[in-house]
Structure 1
Amino acid sequence: MNWKATYARLQIASTIAVAAVFGAGFWSFLIAGILNVTFEIGENESLLYFGAPLFLVFLVIFAKNLREPLRRAGLLSDPPESFESPRNRDNV
């Protein structure tokens, strides 16, 4: 493995992680806020009982499923395998 492939893997992982954390935080905060207003529970309780579990669920879902949409949008670099030399690809 060379440094270009390592950099591509790091870039892909960090981009997916940032997008997943942002998306999960946004949707869990929004849903917890709607539940807070709808059921008239406290802000702390809605974030603790609804926001935190939703954040974890959305984080796993987004981290698993965001790779292809981000690649189609042009936010991810080429696959790390494209940076490896042909000599290394044949030996695998």
Structure 2
Amino acid sequence: MNWRRLYAMLQIWIMVGLTSFAAAGCNTVVVIGICRKLLGWSDGVSVFGIGFPVFVIQFIVFAKYLPKPLRKAGRLSDDPEKFGPWFK
């Protein structure tokens, strides 16, 4: 593996991971707030019982589906496989 393929792979993993983490975190804060204010649940139940599973599920979903929109927006470089066999 050459440095261009390694750079593309690391860029994809880091960018998708950070974007997924931020988006899932923001949505989870909203879900926790709704559980605490509207439903009247305690901190422990709303954070650990509802918030953590919601965060994990959203992180996985975002990590799976975000690369295409990020690539379309120009935030990701090409797939490492598109660099061709001459860069192996």
TM-score by length of 1: 0.85
Instruction: Kindly name which structure, 1 or 2, has the bigger radius of gyration based on alpha carbons.
Output: 1
Question: 5 Å matches for 1:5-24?
Answer: 5-24=5-24
Q: Unpaired segments of 5 or more residues in structure 1?
A: none
Question: 5 Å matches for 1:1-92?
Answer: 1-86=1-86
Q: How far does residue 29 in structure 1 lie from its aligned partner after superposition?
A: 1.4
Query: How many residues were matched structurally?
Result: 88
| Structure 1 segments (4+ residues) deviating >3 Å | 84-88
Q: How much is the aligned-residue C-alpha RMSD, in angstroms?
A: 1.6
TM-score by length of 2: 0.89
Identity %: 35
Q: How far does residue 66 in structure 1 lie from its aligned partner after superposition?
A: 0.5
SS of the residue corresponding to residue 75 of structure 1 reads: coil
Q: Deviations over 1:50-89 (max 9, x none)?
A: 100100110110011111011111110122123345485x
**In structure 1, what is the Cα distance between the partners aligned to 2:35 and 2:12?**
34
Relative to 1, partners in 2 of residues 1:87 and 1:60: Cα closer, same or farther, differing over 3 Å?
closer
**In structure 1, what is the Cα distance between the partners aligned to 2:65 and 2:82?**
22
**In structure 2, what is the Cα distance between the partners aligned to 1:42 and 1:65?**
33
Relative to 1, partners in 2 of residues 1:43 and 1:84: Cα closer, same or farther, differing over 3 Å?
same
